[in-house]
């Protein structure tokens, strides 16, 4: 093979990688925007008397209906087998039911700014998990980015924890959310059903989350009741359903193009959009530690983005996910 041919192949590979990075970055920004808006809507829902479990369940039901219709018309319905059902239930709990229920419930107690910055914590846990599972190679740029983002989050948590009248129960409970999201990032990548597209998997995962949330509603003190005097209840749930539908479609696209660690940066991007929205439209006060925390988190995101280019494309899916497994 001539040197000219080798160079042409190398240029072609680099062009493909650049397009993939551009698609991943664009998807990351769009998904982060939707997540930031979603967090703000959770506070609006609480303000008009909608319980977090009911709001989350009915919104996910609407999103699942939208995505199922889209998948049906495009002929992208996922095959139902043991592997896909496992994927829907476990992925639905980690990514949708568990994490969102924690965050949506905590918004009235801790505020949107705190919750939005908590979404920035998953990169550390996801990166460490991906390294341990052999899904990522070590990269100093990415490691530095994760350290900066973690430092900003830790500073914020410490300030909130030590503040007068701090709600330490909700602060501790909220930290479970990033753990669930990180586990979900790794699980969905490693156990992606062979031959399935993002469009086919998104509605199934939402349906799995709904099954789990309905189970929660059977416990004492929990309910899916939407009884409220506000005329905005149904429209608000409809808007949230559309946002969830777009958010989860983008999430799966980013999963394929960027991998689990790049995917976990959605939380940091959502804070960039979500916090200003909360301050301007919902008159939420600025947290005492917000500026230094947000600065460190932003520096971490920039470092992670540089790492995506400097360190090359990593192995995002494990070998078992590529085979025909049940």
**Which sequence spans correspond to the domains of the chain?**
31-317
Low pLDDT (below 50) residues in the chain: 6, 8-11, 313-326
DSSP label at 322?
G
Q: State the average pLDDT for the chain.
A: 80
Q: And the tokens for 24?
A: 């991943």
Reported pTM: 0.80
* Rounded Cα gap, residues 171 and 296, in angstroms: 20
Rounded percentage of the chain residues whose pLDDT exceeds 90: 20
Looking at residue 325, what is its pLDDT?
Answer: 35
In this predicted model, what pLDDT tens digit does every residue of 189-236 receive, in sequence order? Answer: 888 888 877 778 888 889 999 999 999 898 888 889 886 667 889 999
Measured CA to CA in angstroms, residue 219 lies from 44, 53, 214 at distances of 25, 12, 9
Measured CA to CA in angstroms, residue 146 lies from 34, 143, 202, 239, 300 at distances of 23, 5, 28, 33, 6
* Rounded Cα gap, residues 316 and 192, in angstroms: 11
Residue 227, classed as helix, strand or coil, is coil
Which one, of 290, 291, 319, 83, lies nearest residue 196 by Cα? 83
Looking at residue 15, what is its pLDDT?
Answer: 62
* Rounded Cα gap, residues 34 and 20, in angstroms: 21
Looking at residue 321, what is its pLDDT?
Answer: 38
Contact 210, 60 (CB under 8 A): yes
């Amino acid at each position: 093979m001539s040197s000219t041919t080798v160079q042409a192949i190398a240029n072609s590979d680099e062009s493909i990688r650049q397009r993939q990075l551009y698609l991943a970055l664009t998807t990351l920004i769009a998904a982060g925007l939707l997540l930031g808006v979603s967090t703000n809507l959770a506070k609006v829902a609480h303000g008009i008397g909608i319980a977090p479990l009911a709001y989350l369940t009915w919104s996910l039901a609407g999103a699942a209906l939208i995505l199922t219709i889209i998948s049906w018309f495009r002929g992208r319905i996922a095959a139902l087998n043991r592997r896909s059902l496992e994927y829907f239930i476990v992925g639905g709990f980690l990514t949708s039911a568990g994490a969102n229920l924690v965050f949506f419930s905590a918004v009235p107690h801790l505020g949107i700014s705190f919750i939005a910055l908590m979404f920035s914590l998953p990169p550390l846990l996801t990166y460490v998990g991906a390294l341990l599972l052999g899904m990522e190679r070590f990269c100093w740029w990415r490691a530095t980015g994760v350290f900066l983002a973690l430092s900003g989050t830790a500073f914020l948590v410490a300030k909130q924890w030590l503040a007068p009248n701090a709600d330490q129960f909700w602060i501790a409970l909220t930290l479970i959310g990033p753990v669930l999201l990180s586990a979900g990032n790794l699980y969905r990548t490693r156990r992606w059903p062979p031959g399935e597209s993002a469009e086919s998997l998104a509605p199934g995962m939402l349906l799995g989350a709904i099954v789990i949330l309905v189970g929660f509603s059977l416990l004492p003190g929990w309910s899916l009741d939407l009884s409220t005097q506000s005329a905005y209840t149904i429209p608000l749930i409809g808007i949230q359903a559309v946002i969830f539908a777009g958010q989860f479609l983008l999430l799966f696209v980013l999963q394929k193009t960027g991998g689990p660690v790049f995917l976990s940066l959605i939380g940091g991007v959502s804070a960039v959009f979500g916090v200003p929205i909360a301050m301007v439209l919902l008159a939420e006060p600025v947290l005492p530690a917000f500026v230094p925390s947000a600065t460190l988190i932003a520096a971490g995101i920039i470092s992670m983005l540089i790492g995506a280019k400097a360190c090359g494309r990593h192995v995002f899916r494990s070998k078992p996910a590529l085979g025909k497994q049940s």
